[in-house]
Copies of this chain bind each other. A is one copy, B any other.
Amino acid sequence: MHDTTLPAGFIEGCAAILGDAALVRDPEAIEPYVTDFWGQYRGVTPLVLRPGSTAEVAALVKLAAAHGVALVPQAGNTGLVVGGIPDQSGRQVVLSVQRLDRIRHVDPSGDHLVAEAGCVLAEVQAAAAGIGRLFPLSLGAEGSCRIGGNLATNAGGVNVLRYGMSRALVLGLEVVLADGSVWNGLRPLRKDNTGYDLKQLFIGAEGTLGIITAAALKLAPAPNEVQTLWLGIDDPRTAVRLLTLFQQEMGELISSFELLTSFGVEAACEHLPGVRRPVAEPHPWHVLVEVAWSFPDGLRDRLEAVLEKAFEEGLVQDGTLAESGAQRDMMWRIREGQSEATRHMGFIVRSDVTVPISELPELIERMQAWVGPAAPGVQLIPFGHVGDGNLHFNFVTPPGEVDRLKPVLLDRLYEEVGRLAGSISAEHGIGRLKREAMQAGKSEVELSMMRRLKAAFDPQGILNPGVILKTE
């Protein structure tokens, strides 16, 4: 039993608030709450709390504050940086928001909805679709990730170019603060300049400044025609020039603009069932573009005109438009199956970096020039969201070499990203996994500002300690 690691009376207090059924104490039942998405990290806790209302969350936090117990807020537990599972101490208690799963309100004008933190992202999307609107946040884990976690990590996904990160989709928040008080900031307003915009504090703070219990979310018009285009191109510089052309010609309609390597595309064709290359020949690089609008038709002609221009300017070697939903799905399967497909070639070292869009080719060229002599046998697979300046700059390492190479490859990548004024975490966050790398890359001024925020909003350090910032 780990229970002895918690102060006397704490568990009894939790049971008095929640009832025994909402306390998880059986080690086997605890397992899914302490294991991370990729199954690579495992935390330790004697207790998982499953409150069913904001008032219960508030009472639990008040109790934890009184006993000095650390809480790890958790939603869908699909994060990729070990930000939602406890550390090894056995003294951190998981507070799961999964039972806060109501859509509280859908606005009749179609302007917004209010969802509790434990709503699965796909359910939020469905609630928006139910009134003919779009909730644009979309990512691989949408069937199991939960909106509270999406907001706490400021999740990105495949529609950022057009709709922005999660932050851009939030009108208001309800948050339980570190002393157990409840901030009702759920005002569903498009504009509100009454003092400091406090909701911004909690979005992307990974549960370290407060626990998000509900959110007023902005909805967008639903697109009625979607067109998907696959291009074969020569190099990343051409990809950025193509993006500029598309921005000029139809910028407001671009939802996705994704870059892929020849290696990654061929791997997908070889290893993913039913997948074949959308264009006849292999090309050094490929681009996947998706555009959409509210009208029912006419977009295809517009897109073809832009494509013609791209051919005339010599930017594109080959290209094809998806002729059916099945063909569109296959294009996206290649894009989303990059990790899965390349895993057959060796062990993957993953990353999630951004640089200013104009510097993307430079980053790729520098890493290519370095990797050959410095890490022979390593294959670079930089792919992802060119339109956001964001690459999942992955590496395939030879068998048995991954442990030695991983720090070497990531150190060099982060170094080059730093030189190009970039970021080592575009959309995944910091968690416990990137904490040291983040601290190495930030100025003392910036780190001190972050510590000041943490001290102001969680002076006892009971909210997700060790995530983002080291505990003192």
Interface residues in chain A, defined as those with a beta carbon under 8 Å from any beta carbon in chain B: 107-112, 132, 153-154, 156, 160-161, 164-165, 167-168, 177, 181-198, 200-201, 203-205, 209, 220-223, 240, 243-244, 247-253, 293-295, 298, 302, 354-358, 385, 387-390, 421-430, 434, 438, 441-443, 445-446, 449-450, 452-453, 455-457, 468-469
Contact = CB atoms under 8 A, between A and B. Distances in A.
B204 A428 contact: no
A110 B445 CA distance: 30
Contacts of A110: 244, 247-248
A357 B190 contact: yes
B251 A429 contact: no
Given A197-B204, A201-B201, 6 more contacts: A109-B240, A189-B423, A190-B354, A194-B438, A196-B205, A221-B250
Each complex incorporates copies of this chain amounting to 2
B191 A390 contact: yes
Nearest to A468: B195
Given A182-B445, A443-B184, A446-B183, A426 B193 contact: yes
The 6 closest A-B pairs by CB, nearest first: A221-B251, A200-B200, A109-B358, A456-B456, A192-B423, A191-B426
Q: Which of A109, A205, A426 has the most CB of B within 10 A?
A: A109
7 contacts: A164-B168, A183-B445, A194-B438, A195-B469, A250-B295, A251-B294, A253-B294
A450 B200 CA distance: 12
Contacts of A429: 193
Contacts of A445: 177, 181-184
Contacts of A457: 449, 452
A132 B249 CA distance: 11
B187 A423 contact: yes
The CB with the most chain B CB atoms within 10 A, among A190, A209, A247, is that of A190
B167 A428 contact: no
Contact of A193 (B197, B356, B421, B425): B425
Given A183-B445, A198-B449, A430-B195, A112 B204 contact: no
Contacts of A452: 456-457
A452 B438 CA distance: 26
Contacts of A251: 220-221, 294
A154 B244 CA distance: 28
Contact of A190 (B108, B132, B389): B389
Contacts of A247: 110, 221
A453 to B, nearest CB: 6
A287 B112 CA distance: 22
Given A205-B196, A253-B252, A190 B388 contact: yes
A212 to B, nearest CB: 14
Contacts of A243: 109
